[in-house]
């Protein structure tokens, strides 16, 4: 019997969890529950692993877009009954939200530094530096405050 590609990939990645050949189990209710639980856990592991490997946003605009989209998805998920499947979905959403938020925080730290440069340049009455730093500042700020 041929295995599907997902099962084969999961077996290579998690050989200790998935037996390489069929195993004979009794068909009692406790064993069926155990098997269902193991399958659900394995699905959650594979799904979360796939999300953990997702590339982070490349720039601030992408981070803001992801942050907005995935916060809306989180809002919808939180409005539902908290089942194991829903909790797995929320867990997956947090990977993208975390990556987006980290990029936003990184860019905002840079924005704060740029604002400080504007402050210092305006104190020194350096029109050229005020213009240069001001343009950089507004370009980044407008990405966030559309």
For 88-116, what is the mean pLDDT? 92
Whether the CB-CB separation of 67 and 100 falls below 8 Å is answered with: yes
**Alpha-carbon distance 121 to 132, whole Å?**
10
* Whether 126 and 144 share a structural domain: yes
Stretch 126-138: mean pLDDT, rounded? Answer: 95
Residues 82 and 25 in one domain: no
Lowest pLDDT segment from 27-31, 48-52, 80-84: 48-52
Q: Which residue has the tokens 């989180």?
A: 74
Poorest-pLDDT segment among 26-40, 44-58, 61-75, 82-96: 44-58
Per-residue confidence (pLDDT) for residue 53, from 0 to 100: 47
Distance CA 90, CA 88 (A): 5
Q: Which residue has the higher pLDDT, 30 or 25?
A: 30
Residues 24 and 70 in one domain: no
> From CA 33, how far away is CA 97, in angstroms rounded?
33
Total structural domains within the chain? 2
Give me the domain span that covers residue 124: 58-146
Residue 35's pLDDT is: 76
Tell me, yes or no, whether 126 and 86 share the same domain. yes
69 and 34 in a common domain: no
Task: Compute the average pLDDT of residues 19-24.
Answer: 54
Contacts of 58 (CB under 8 A, 6+ apart): none
My answer on whether 5 and 48 are in the same domain is yes
Q: pTM for this structure?
A: 0.57
* pLDDT at position 43 over 90: no
Per-residue confidence at 100, pLDDT binned at 50, 70, 90? very high
């Amino acid at each position: 019997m041929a295995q599907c590609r997902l099962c084969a990939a999961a077996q290579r990645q998690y050989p200790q969890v998935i037996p390489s050949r069929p195993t004979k189990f009794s068909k009692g209710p406790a064993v069926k529950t155990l098997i269902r639980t193991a399958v659900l856990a394995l699905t959650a592991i594979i799904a979360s692993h796939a999300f953990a490997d997702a590339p982070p946003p490349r720039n601030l605009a992408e981070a803001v877009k992801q942050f907005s989209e995935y916060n809306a998805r989180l809002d919808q998920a939180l409005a539902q009954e908290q089942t194991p499947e829903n909790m797995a979905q929320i867990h997956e959403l947090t990977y993208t939200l975390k990556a987006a938020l980290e990029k936003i925080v990184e860019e905002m730290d840079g924005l704060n530094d740029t604002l400080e440069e504007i402050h210092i340049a305006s104190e020194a009455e350096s029109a050229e530096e005020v213009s240069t730093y001001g343009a950089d500042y507004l370009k980044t700020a407008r990405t966030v405050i559309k």
